[in-house]
Amino acid sequence: DTEVTQTPKHLVMGMTNKKSLKCEQHMGHRAMYWYKQKAKKPPELMFVYSYEKLSINESVPSRFSPECPNSSLLNLHLHALQPEDSALYLCASSQWTGAISNYGYTFGSGTRLTVV
Amino acid sequence: DQQVKQNSPSLSVQEGRISILNCDYTNSMFDYFLWYKKYPAEGPTFLISISSIKDKNEDGRFTVFLNKSAKHLSLHIVPSQPGDSAVYFCAASEGETSGSRLTFGEGTQLTVNP
């Protein structure tokens, strides 16, 4: 299994809703990432988990709450989002945070989030 | 402040010809560079990378060139194929051991015409 699986693929939520994005990988990777990509913009790093511990938070608003229950799973909990948070949310993994050189990241297909 | 720049939003080439995608960076601390390819409705796919200790890395039809003094890298695809049509992102990292943070350029849409 060489994939990163993200669910759901599409999500529409209201500004008062609570929802979660899920990401799963079974490649034994120990680093997992959340990126946000707006239309016609590059992916922007949100969070990095290394060995199930949060190692980087790029000053992301608290309405986004990441969780890494185990080495294969990464969640992003969403609450009280704004319409400007509508974007493609990408999950990625790598063997560990120092392994970019050999393999790059493996990205999932993303969750297209629309906040109404 | 855009530290990685891809100044051409789009590029169109004929099948069989060479595609050259360019990328410039401003952060002198970057010393590892990657190219990703992205189809619509899919996540980016890792293509090829290069360390700053090299000036060229080749993998099949894909070659990446790095000019450190000019802070410029390029991706050459030869021969180009219609299936190569996608958005290509250049990305940079501050060192192989700090590879947890990638900074991406804005992407170049490559269209290869049959």
How high is the mean pLDDT in each 10-residue block of chain A (116 residues)? 89 94 93 91 91 91 96 96 95 74 78 96
Q: Which of B2-11, B35-44, B72-81 has the lowest mean pLDDT?
A: B35-44
pLDDT (0 to 100) of residue B79: 98
The alpha carbon of residue A9 is apart from the nearest alpha carbon of chain B, in Å, by 9
Chain B interface test: which of A4, A24, A74, A101 (most B C-beta within 10 Å): A101
Question: Inter-chain contact A48–B34, Cβ cutoff 8 Å?
Answer: no
CB-CB neighbours of B52 under 10 Å = 16
Region B73-81 average pLDDT: 98
Q: What tokens were used for B1?
A: 């402040």
In A, what residues contact B, Cβ < 8 A?
A: 4, 6, 31, 33, 40-45, 48, 50, 55-56, 90, 92, 94, 97-101, 103-110
Residue type, A6: Q
**pLDDT (average), residues B68-81:** 97
What pLDDT, on a 0 to 100 scale, did the predictor assign at position B96? 54
Residues B78-114 as b or e (16 or more Cβ within 10 Å = b)? eebeeebbbbbbbbbbbebeebbbbbbbbbbebebee
| Contact: A45, B106; criterion CB under 8 Å | no
What's the pLDDT at B42?
Answer: 82
Q: Which positions in chain B touch A48 (Cβ < 8 Å)?
A: 100-101
In degrees and rounded to multiples of 5, residue B96 shows phi and psi of -65, -30
Please, what is the Cα angle at B43 between B38 and B44, to 5 degrees?
45
Residue in A41, A97, A94, A36 with CA at minimum distance from that of residue A61: A36
Per-residue pLDDT reduced to its tens digit, B1-20: 789 999 999 999 999 999 99
